[in-house]
Homo-oligomer: A and B are copies of this chain.
Amino acid sequence: MGCAPMGHILYDEVMRYNPKNPYWFNRDRFVLSAGHGCMLQYALLHLAGYSSVLDPSCAGMLYATSRPFSCKEKKDRNPPHLGPQMKKEDLKQFRQWGSRTPGHPENFETPGVEVTTGPLGQGIANAVGLALVEKHLAARFNKPDTEIVDHYTYVILGDGCQMEGISNEASSLAGHWGLGKLIAFYDDNHISIDGDTEIAFTEDVRARFDALGWHTIWVKTGNTGYDDIRAAIKEAKAVKDKPTLIKVTTTIGYGSPNKANSYSVHGSALGAKEVDATRQNLGWPYEPFHVPEDVKSHWSRHISEGASFEAEWNAKFAEYEKKYKEEAAELKSIISGELPAGWEKALPTYTPESSADATRNLSQQCINALASILPGFLGGSADLASSNMTLMKSFGDFQKFSPEERNLRFGVREHGMGAICNGIALHSPGLIPYCATFFVFTDYMRPAIRISALSEARVIYVMTHDSIGLGEDGPTHQPIEHLMSFRAMPNILMLRPADGTETAGSYKVAVLNKKRPSILALSRQKLPHLAGTSIEGVEKGGYIVSDDSLGNKPDIILTGSGSELEIAVKAAEELRKEGKTVRVVSLVSWELFEEQSDKYKESVFPEAVTARVSIEAGATFGWEKFVGTKGKAIGINRFGASAPAGKIYKEFGLTPENAVAVAKSL
């Protein structure tokens, strides 16, 4: 209620969008970082006449109407929505099963919602990603005679978002990058769930943003000061080299005579009686959900106006395409998400004779290969580029004065990095952001990774130093439970390649899975290229690397992932020397394997073979799934240690010798 004036001005006066095509490429983006206030956005979408375009790819204007998902892909989601538009009935079904008006804004449920917010601070960081894309694409594609990319990113964030560390991380980067077309409204209402912010939040937010390199404005009259808000937006737009924070002082629950300015309106409904009192207080004599004719007629222009915006842009693009064929093709690919034909042939290939290398280095070869062929591929590391091996050699750094470049320098800000990448991925279907840190520090960015999974954002997480194999940095830096923690998460691919071929396969899978993020766990230490690994195998998640048995009945199955597959292979050689028949199975992605047919799964792990040993440098928790009740899992169920990698592997029993001994015990 306190944000209604900002919302009104944005949707009715300021933003350029096409309600009949919420996915029009050059639209202004709006993010409600304070996602719990989503009814405001739903109401505005309703007034503006928003509608979902069910199958934009049929419209013949792919570049103009691309959207992040198609309805048939949503079959495993909630029941079909009530209708193609944001109808009154949708608003009445707020927070109900199957509605398009969930308790927090979800891009995969509601056309017109750009990203998924609710977990505080994510939205402002997503908005930084959206604004980054605009600056980047504008620098790459705009011409002296044509501004083909040209939109603003607006965001509303509240006290909760401001308290979260992620918002400081992302805002620091926005200031550093000089994202002049990012305009953030800070809903300064002094109330959070526990009461007055006086009890926990007394910093000077505006001064902090000044320190972060933003332009800041204070609107003291947020409840009613429409002209002040308009003036602030005008001022913000005039400042082109800095993002702008407009601190808008408001009253939470503005208009409610008895509950305004109290925490009781933060998370609870007003109640029928107070709603009546509020209507009376605000002079709003209409029945619930009624939109008076004059309001309806006032807002109705957005449908034709929006259609004009898009048509004008389409015409401009048609001209652009004539003059700048190559650029237009690239931009089209970014807008549509269509991958260049044969792109996967760019990925490097390896044989067992290729020289041993760390998968983080092999990953860099893949990154550079993809950089050369995918126009929407961009990314970087949280201050570990030279350890994560993530620099694209053919590009420079995306910076304030070189925004056309594609290497992103996130600083030590993993959480902000992940959420910025979500914003990048959800800007346009052809953008493929990657980001990197040590695997253990996925902990720092886990809320953003979860939002990637939930919101179907294709972010590639390049996570190196994926086990105790990183050695001397010790237990604070050595992941143990992380593989399992992601294997348990819905809609994400956890990939742990064992060598060059599997690394290339993992990138292929990551790029092709447009509706889910992928995490690649990569080694610091050198690994040999193994006989029997394959890209097709990676695509199945799990597969037989070698087997010397007959009739699908080896004496024992050894299985593992990543750097421990080599150990399984060596143990198998030893056991075979002793006359045993041994199968080695690579389980590079449990999720992909789970999606295979029962028949295929049985062909890899036959029920009759119960002697199974897994080996993986991580928690054994979860391996029961594959080794069963009669098998054994070799792994690590304690924290790591600071020592050279080889020493720790030996002390922890992650050796071919131990695998042989355990196998024999079965």
Q: Which residues of A contact B (CB under 8 A)?
A: 35, 76, 78, 95-99, 102-104, 106, 116-120, 159-161, 163-169, 172-173, 175-176, 192-194, 197, 199-208, 210-213, 263, 267, 381, 383-387, 397, 399, 409-416, 440-441, 443-444, 446-447, 450-451, 453-454, 471-477, 480-481, 484-485, 487-491, 607, 619, 621-622, 624-625, 628-629, 637-639, 641-644, 647-648, 651
Choose among A381, A607, A638 the residue with the greatest number of B CB atoms under 10 Å from its CB.
Answer: A638
Cβ contact within 8 Å between A383 and B488: no
Chain B residues closer than 8 Å to A639, beta-carbon distance: 453-454, 490-491
- Per a CB cutoff under 8 Å, which of B173, B203, B642 touches A213? B203
How many protomers of this protein does the assembly include? 2
Residues of chain B within 8 A (CB-CB) of A213 are 202-204
Closest to A618 in B: B488
| A383-B484 in contact (CB<8A) | no
A409-B200, A490-B480 are known contacts. Are A441 and B119 too (CB-CB below 8 A)?
yes
Of the candidates A172, A385, A476, A619, the one having the most CB atoms from chain B within 10 angstroms of its own CB is: A476
**Cβ of B192 and Cβ of A651 under 8 Å apart?**
no
Give the residues in chain B near A625, CB-CB below 8 Å: 621, 624
Report whether A102 and B208 are in contact in the complex, using a CB–CB cutoff of 8 Å.
no
A99 touches B642 (CB 8 A): yes
Whole-angstrom distance from the CB of A40 to the nearest CB of chain B?
16
Residues of B within 8 A of A629 (CB): 607, 628-629
Q: Which of B193, B397, B450, B476 contacts A443 (CB 8 A)?
A: B450
Q: Given known contacts A119-B444, A164-B169, A164-B412, is B95 in contact with A199 (CB within 8 Å)?
A: no
Q: Is the Cβ of A104 less than 8 Å from the Cβ of B473?
A: yes
What residues of B have a CB within 8 angstroms of the CB of A607 in the complex? Answer: 629
A202 to B409 CA separation, bound complex (whole angstroms): 12
State the CA gap A116–B453 with chains docked (Å).
31
Is B163 touching A411 in the complex (CB atoms < 8 A)?
yes
Residue pair A95, B643 in contact (C-beta under 8 Å): yes
- Would B484 and A488 count as touching, CB distance under 8 A? yes
* Cβ–Cβ contact B164 & A413, under 8 A: yes
Asked if A95 and B163 make an inter-chain contact with CB atoms under 8 angstroms apart, the answer reads no
Chain B residues positioned under 8 Å from A207 (CB to CB): 207, 210-211
**Chain B contacts of A414 at CB under 8 A?**
164
Are A193 and B386 in contact, with the CB atoms below 8 A?
yes
- Could you tell me the distance between the alpha carbons of A666 and B168 in the complex, rounded to whole angstroms? 53
Which of A165, A381, A624 has the most chain B CB within a 10 Å cutoff? A165
What is the CA–CA distance of A193 and B477 in the complex, to the nearest angstrom?
A: 15
CB-CB under 8 A from A480, the residues of chain B are: 488-490
User: Quick one: which of A103, A166, A414 has the most chain B CB within 10 A?
Assistant: A103
With both beta carbons as reference points, the residue of chain B lying nearest to A448 in the complex is identified as: B443
Given contacts A211-B204, A484-B484, A484-B485, contact A474 B118 (CB under 8 A): yes
Known: A97-B644, A176-B203. 6 other contacts (CB 8 A): A103-B473, A163-B412, A193-B387, A197-B411, A481-B485, A488-B619
A653 CB, nearest partner CB in chain B, Å: 14
Q: List 14 A-B contacts (CB under 8 A).
A: A95-B643, A102-B474, A102-B641, A104-B477, A160-B383, A165-B413, A176-B201, A193-B385, A194-B409, A200-B383, A202-B213, A208-B211, A481-B489, A629-B629
Contact B642 A104 (CB under 8 A): yes
Asked whether, in the complex, the Cβ of B201 is within 8 Å of the Cβ of A208, the reply is: no
In the bound complex, residues from chain B placing their C-beta under 8 Å from that of A648 are 97
Closest chain-B Cβ to A479's Cβ sits at a distance in Å of: 10
Q: Judge whether A476 and B106 touch: CB under 8 Å.
A: yes
Chain B residues with CB under 8 A of A116: 476
A447 to B485, CA, bound (A): 13
B411 pairs with A201, CB closer than 8 A = yes
Contact B444 A447 (CB under 8 A): yes
Assess the B475–A621 pair: CB atoms within 8 A: no
A182 to B497 CA separation, bound complex (whole angstroms): 46
Q: Is the CB of A165 within 8 A of B416?
A: yes
A192 to B192, CA, bound (A): 36
Contact of A485 among B106, B204, B485 (CB under 8 A): B485
Residue of A411, A416, A491 with most partner-chain B CB within 10 A: A411
Say which residue of B199, B208, B412 sits within 8 Å of A409 (CB atoms). B199
